[in-house]
Structures are given as structure tokens and as C-alpha cells.
């Protein structure tokens, strides 16, 4: 069974978006059950994307092409162990939330 998790960020909780996800997704976790801006709950945002932002903006971005290349280059410098850890954390948290919702 697949669960769809909404992170409750302002741009992700528009009424139309939530209604569509409720209709189209069998196991939809409501946006209000997942707080925005939580480093514990959003490990990918705070860990991986933080490293991406830090790496991409080390040097001046000249144009879109340069931004894309800096993104690719930065991604290649992030150790797989950090990405794996962020994924494991998010999986554990999702399992805990699913257990909580079912109880």
C-alpha cells in the first residue's frame, strides 16, 4: 500500500490541491498532520537540500545553464551516506505516522 504524504508547506496545501489528492490518492495523509519547516520531519529538505544550496551558491550563478551545472556538480559531491541517512529517517517517520493514524 502506498501513502501520499503532504508536508503542509503553504504552497502545497491549496484547497484544490488537497481536494484532488483526497480524491485520487487512496492513503492520503492530511496536510495538518505534517508540520512545515520541521528539521526532524523533513530531513531531506534540511539535510540534502541544505547541502545543495550551500554548494550551488558557493560561486556566483551566471545564468540558468550555469545554475544547472552547479546543481549537478554539487549533487556529485554529497556523500551517498548522507542521502541514505536522510531517506532512512523519512521512512521511519512515515512509518510512525502511519501507525499513529491507524491507532
Alpha carbon distance 49, 7 (integer Å): 15
Alpha helices in the chain (DSSP H): 15-24, 43, 49-56, 64-77, 80-102
CB 29 within 8 A of CB 6: yes
For 48-60, b/e burial (b = at least 16 CB within 10 A) is beebbeebbeeee
Coil, helix or strand at residue 28:
strand
Question: Residue 43: what pLDDT?
Answer: 63
**What pLDDT, on the 0 to 100 scale, is given for residue 101?**
79
3-state SS assignment for residue 96: helix
pLDDT score, position 89: 83
Q: What's the pLDDT score for residue 41?
A: 62
Q: pLDDT value at position 42?
A: 65
Q: What letter would DSSP give residue 44?
A: I
Q: What is the pLDDT along the chain (103 residues), one digit of tens a residue?
A: 455 556 566 666 778 877 877 787 767 767 666 666 666 666 666 788 889 989 999 999 999 999 999 999 999 999 999 989 888 888 888 888 788 878 7
pTM equals: 0.55
Amino acid at each position: 500500500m502506498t501513502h501520499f504524504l503532504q508536508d503542509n508547506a503553504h504552497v502545497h496545501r491549496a484547497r484544490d490541491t488537497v481536494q484532488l489528492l483526497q480524491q485520487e490518492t487512496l492513503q492520503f495523509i492530511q496536510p495538518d498532520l505534517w508540520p512545515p519547516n520541521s528539521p526532524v520531519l523533513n530531513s531531506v529538505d534540511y539535510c540534502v537540500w541544505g547541502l545543495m544550496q550551500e554548494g550551488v551558491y558557493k560561486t556566483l550563478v551566471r545564468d540558468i545553464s550555469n545554475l544547472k551545472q552547479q546543481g549537478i556538480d554539487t549533487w556529485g559531491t554529497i556523500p551517498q551516506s548522507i542521502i541514505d541517512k536522510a531517506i532512512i529517517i523519512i521512512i521511519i517517520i512515515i512509518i510512525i505516522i502511519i501507525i499513529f493514524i491507524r491507532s
